[in-house]
Structure 1
Amino acid sequence: MTTHFPRLAETVHSQQHRLPSLYGDFDFDAVPYRLTTDPSDASALPARVGDRQSLLDDPETVELMSIATFLGDIPADSYAALSASHSVSHLIAMLRTACQQGLDAVPDAPPELSSFIRALEDTPDWIDMSLVAEGARRARVDAALLAPFITRGAFIATFTNTYAALPMALTGALSGKRAAHRVNETTSFFAVTTMPGALDRFGPGFEAAAMVRLMHSMVRFHALTKSDVWDTSVYGLPVPQVDQMPAGLIGMYLLSQRVIRAGRSSFTPGERALVEFSRYRCFLLGLPEELVPSEPDDIIRQFHGRAAVLRHGFDETCRRLVNSTMSAYLRPTESWFDRIADAVERSYSAVGFMIAFCGGDSRAAARMGVDIGVADYARIAATAPFIVGRIAAVRTAVRVPVLRDPVDHYLVRLLDRRLVTYGKPEYTSDSSTYTPAV
């Protein structure tokens, strides 16, 4: 029985009659195997990270995570379902035009496209929009100077759980050369959304968020209607919003941990701006208010709560996805500089993954497909003074009023170059090109 989140529960159960072509046969009352509240079952929450039992004893947390495990994205799903009668390329072209020029620029725009765009435009009152631009400015520091060295490591964290990894495995989008493209797309998305005005209605970040939502909905549509591998009794709903939440709020989770370790219980004004920027970006990606908390304790509890009810699992498919992502070459050319840069980034990503997701245990990382050797530590030792020093210098400079604008201009120019390096993102997912990696 729903006690704490009746509105969200109603949204979940309304999916069946709002989009019967996709959800008509889905049983929203059947608990999938992936979801477990049994203390004797191993979960995705390591004991070193959080106390699972205290989370399982919290009915509000358990209820929220359970409901969100069934939450799709009706506006994007309805548009993606048109792929049954429209070409994917045509759907993408119409969405891009609507994002860049408005709905009036799309001849005979289907009502599903109009509903999708209006859902993106319907800015909620639970976000302080006056802080978003300042939050984006602050986020540019890490997007330009830190993200290029850790995104691959954070990206492969998605594949450390059998039940969360399968949707991407079904598409084959992370096998072979496609892995590099997807990693660069992800890095590009988070970078472009920090640019000045990017999240405005006709900004490139707004469009990128719409394209990411469509991509996820296309994967969801394929898994539920075309795949003979997807077992809803085991995996539940493909790409549920509860699995999108970690990517959207990972930065705020790490920030919240720093706040709590510092003995504080709330964010500073600057940190608050970062949080509101991330929350707005999460809204554009389709997450509801319930999944984007605004306070440090709540953000940490939400992250841990999701892992606490997600059954542990790491199989050969996960290992293949991790291996293909770690071995992917991400640079645009084969020049000596790009080859060196790729090797350095790969070392940072591997060690970062080991620290963040394996408790610093290199043997545990190796078992998951991430091998770390002497050469990796040597590359980090040789480059850390510059990379870490530059980040520290810029973070200090942006707090000095007279230096703030010049430093921000420098970061914008650097991000422009980064975006060129990442390549042109497509954010597409066409089932006709899928080569399942399972």
Structure 2
Amino acid sequence: MTTSNGAPPAPGRAVGLAAARTRHGDDVDLLLRMLQVGDPLADAVVAEFDELGAPAREALQRGLVAGRADVPDAPPAVDALLAQVETVPGWVSPEQMDAGDRISLAVPPHWNHLAFAGGSLTHTYSSPSMARLLVGTGRLTVTAPRRLAETGMWAAAATLPGGLRRGAPGYVQTVQVRLLHARVRASATRHGWDADRWGVPVNQADVARTWLDFTLVPFTLLAGIGHHLTAHEQSRLYRYWWYVGHLLGLDERLFLGIEDHERARTLLDLLDSTAAAPDANSRALVEALYAAATADLAAAPGSPMDATGWRDLLHAVARSCHGEGVAAALGIPESPFTPLLPLLAAGEATARDHRRQVPGAMRQAEEDGIAARRGLVAVVTGSTAYQDHVGHP
């Protein structure tokens, strides 16, 4: 179906389309199509889970860990998904996969935590459609700490050296996250989700937003405190996350070829400029997120600040990253730390330049990051939401 001028129909959530067309041309039509597309392979697997039950779920899990060849009797949809994720595209660098996302791993843990909460998840939650889905998943005061920990665990597993190799934890968890998206789509649709207004639940545009929330968005926040990436570092970051996008079932047209912040910002502008302002659901999620994140930061061994101090710093860096308009819409207040950010950024930039110049210093920062991420993976006990819910209606 298309409109009278040949363009795809626009869900009610899409705003500012005329201005967006001026900047992005036909990419707006691609966006409108992606708002109505889920993930056919993963959606078929969830339908197969509901039809066949435990045998289908067990076949998928065995195939993810041991490989497709180990489950020759896998149901058709499970087999098709395993075939897709096991087919490594030619643009994937085996050497980089073995090394992990060392650009992200080199970020000190406390800055990584701030960038994750104040950058990545804040941007995710600023989308009214995403917030609407997430608020419906449970009590925020209970789910926010667990959601923060589980999402951080997945990101850690996916970025560790060898984490995306077939059967490795990052590979398995990334496909499980993809199936959780499919489960959310099925559940929301069954419970009357208004696709004409909001688009398909967790559609391709939403997954592209998530992809940016682990590439451009956190490093935009980090740049504001002195952690600038060179052109080479940017290329390594995005090329690594191309493969994450592939495993998440993201349409290649939305990410392949993006290997620097400039091109990533073009996609981000297309997504953000056509999205409505954050709403009450967004504000509730961000408030719960910040309470959980600052409690974690204050509880870390050797923390230099209490939760109030971390909260003020989080407010300052989030406002700097997302801008005053979005921050106000999200209810993020002004912070006494804001005037200090230039001094903080200058000190961090100097320290980062020093690490680049001292032989072995950046390598040591990466190894410290690897140790911290492994510790984060170990913190979450029991099964995760994406492990619990992919097989349950």
Deviation, 1:55, is 4.4
Q: Which amino acid aligns with 1:212?
A: V
Deviation of 1:425 after TM superposition, in Å, equals 6.2
Deviations 1:125-164 (CA, angstroms, capped at 9, x unpaired)? 3444544445622321127452212212231322223223
Unaligned runs of 5+ in 1: 3-27, 40-52
Tell me how far 1:227 sits from its aligned partner: 0.9
Alignment counterpart, residue 330 of structure 2, candidates 345, 361, 368: 368
User: Counterpart in 1 of 2:200?
Assistant: 237
Partner of 2:258: 294
Aligned mate of 2:278, from 314, 332, 336: 314
Give the match's secondary structure for 1:314. Answer: coil
Unaligned runs of 5+ in 2: none
CA distance in 2: counterparts of 1:299 and 1:334, whole angstroms:
33
1:122 and 1:367 mapped to 2: Cα distance? 43
RMSD across aligned positions (CA):
4.1
Q: Please give the secondary structure, in 1, of the residue aligned with 2:164.
A: coil
| Partner of residue 89, structure 2 | 124
Q: Distance in 2 between matches of 1:397 and 1:355?
A: 25
SS at match of 2:287: helix
- TM-score, with structure 1 as normaliser: 0.72
My pick for the range that moved more, 333-342 or 395-404, is 333-342
- Kept in 2: contact 1:32–1:233 (CA 8 A): yes
Partner Cα distance (2:52, 2:295) in 1 = 34
Measure how far apart 1:198 and its partner are.
Answer: 0.7
Alignment deviations for residues 397-420 of structure 1 (CA, whole Å, 9 cap, x no partner): 355444454443333223222333
Corresponding position: 1:62 with 2:28? yes
Is 1:410–2:386 an aligned residue pair? no
Q: Between 335-344 and 71-80, report the one with greater CA deviation.
A: 335-344
| Secondary structure, counterpart of 1:150 in structure 2 | helix
Q: How much does 1:99 deviate?
A: 1.9
Residues 75-115 of structure 1: CA deviation (Å, up to 9, x unaligned): 2111112343355x776554433222223555853222221
Q: Which residue of 1 aligns with 2:240?
A: 277
CA deviations 1:281-317 (Å, max 9, x no partner) are 221111122111324443221111122223x143333
Aligned length: 378
Q: Secondary structure at the match of 1:356?
A: helix
The residue that corresponds to 1:323 in the other structure is 287
Q: 1:309-349: CA deviations, max 9, x gaps?
A: 23x14333333222232333676899795996655554443
CA shift for structure 1 position 182:
1.0
- Alignment TM-score, normalising by the size of structure 2: 0.79
- Counterpart for residue 268 of structure 1: 231
Residues 1:148 and 1:416: Cα distance change in structure 2 (over 3 Å): same
User: Distance between the aligned counterparts of 1:139 and 1:170, measured in 2?
Assistant: 31
| 1:180/1:330 contact within 8 Å kept | no
Q: Give the distance between the partners of 2:56 and 2:353, measured in 1 at CA.
A: 42
